[in-house]
Structure 1
Amino acid sequence: MSAPVVLFDVPGPRARRTYRVVGVVAVLVLVALLVLVVRGLANPDDNQFTAEKWRPFLDPVTWTAYLLPGLVNTLKAAAIAVVLSVVVGLVLGVGRLSQSRVLRLVCGTYVEFFRSVPVLVMMIFSYYFAVFVVGITGDAASLFGVVAGLTLYNSAVIAELIRSGVHSLPRGQREAGLAVGLTPSQAMTAILLPQAVTAMLPSLLSQLVVILKDTALGYIINFSELIRGGQNLSTNFGNLIPTFIVLAAIFILINYSLTFLARLLERRLQRSAKGTPPPDPDDQAQVAPVGGGMGVGVL
Structure 2
Amino acid sequence: MVPADDALFDAPGPRGRRRIAVATAGSLLVMAALTWAGLHQFAVNGQLDAGKWRLFTQWPVIHYLLQGLWQTVRVTLVSGAIALPFGALLSLARLSRSRLVRAPAALYVEVMRAVPLLLLIYVFLFGLPGAGLRLPLFWQLAWPIVLNNAAVFAEIFRSAVRALPTGQTEAGHALGLGHWLTMRKIVLPQAVRQSAPSLISQLIRLLKDSTLGYVVSFLELLNSAKTLGEYNHTVVQGYLVVGFIYVLVNVALASAAGQVERRVTGRPPRSG
Q: Scaled by the length of structure 1, what TM-score is found?
A: 0.80
Deviation at 1:134, TM superposition (A): 4.6
Which amino acid in structure 2 is aligned with residue 107 of structure 1?
A: A
**Equivalent position of 2:185 in the other structure:** 190
Matches within 5 A, 1:132-143: 132-136=130-134, 140=136, 142-143=137-138
When the two chains are superposed, the root-mean-square deviation of aligned CA atoms in Å is 2.3
Contact kept, 8 Å, 2:196 with 2:264, in 1: the verdict is no
**Equivalent position of 2:247 in the other structure:** 252
**Equivalent position of 2:9 in the other structure:** 10
**Equivalent position of 1:37 in the other structure:** 38
Deviation at 1:55, TM superposition (A): 0.9
Give a deviation string over 1:249-288, Cα, whole Å, max 9, x none: 221222222222222222222349xxxxxxxxxxxxxxxx
**Equivalent position of 2:105 in the other structure:** 107
Deviation at 1:9, TM superposition (A): 5.7
Unpaired stretches in structure 1, ≥5 consecutive residues: 273-299
Deviation at 1:3, TM superposition (A): 6.6
Matches within 5 A, 1:210-289: 210-271=205-266
Of 86, 89, 107 in structure 1, the residue corresponding to residue 84 of structure 2 is: 86
Deviation at 1:239, TM superposition (A): 2.1
Contact kept, 8 Å, 2:68 with 2:224, in 1: the verdict is yes
Q: Scaled by the length of structure 2, what TM-score is found?
A: 0.88
Which amino acid in structure 2 is aligned with residue 240 of structure 1?
A: V
Contact kept, 8 Å, 1:96 with 1:107, in 2: the verdict is yes
Of 128, 140, 144 in structure 2, the residue corresponding to residue 145 of structure 1 is: 140
Aligned CA distance change for structure 1 residues 118 and 171 (closer, same or farther; 3 Å) = same
Counterpart-to-counterpart distance in 2, 1:11 and 1:111: 40
Contact kept, 8 Å, 1:42 with 1:49, in 2: the verdict is yes
Which amino acid in structure 2 is aligned with residue 36 of structure 1?
A: A
Counterpart-to-counterpart distance in 2, 1:20 and 1:131: 58
Counterpart-to-counterpart distance in 2, 1:100 and 1:16: 56
Aligned CA distance change for structure 1 residues 271 and 76 (closer, same or farther; 3 Å) = same
Of 176, 201, 205 in structure 2, the residue corresponding to residue 181 of structure 1 is: 176
Counterpart-to-counterpart distance in 2, 1:55 and 1:18: 45
Counterpart-to-counterpart distance in 2, 1:214 and 1:125: 16
Aligned CA distance change for structure 1 residues 101 and 267 (closer, same or farther; 3 Å) = same
**Equivalent position of 2:270 in the other structure:** none
Contact kept, 8 Å, 1:123 with 1:218, in 2: the verdict is no
**Equivalent position of 1:67 in the other structure:** 65
Stretch moving more, 248-257 or 212-221: 248-257
Structure showing the higher helix proportion among its residues: 2
Task: Indicate whether 1:207 and 2:206 are aligned.
Answer: no
How many residues were matched structurally? 264
Contact kept, 8 Å, 1:93 with 1:162, in 2: the verdict is yes
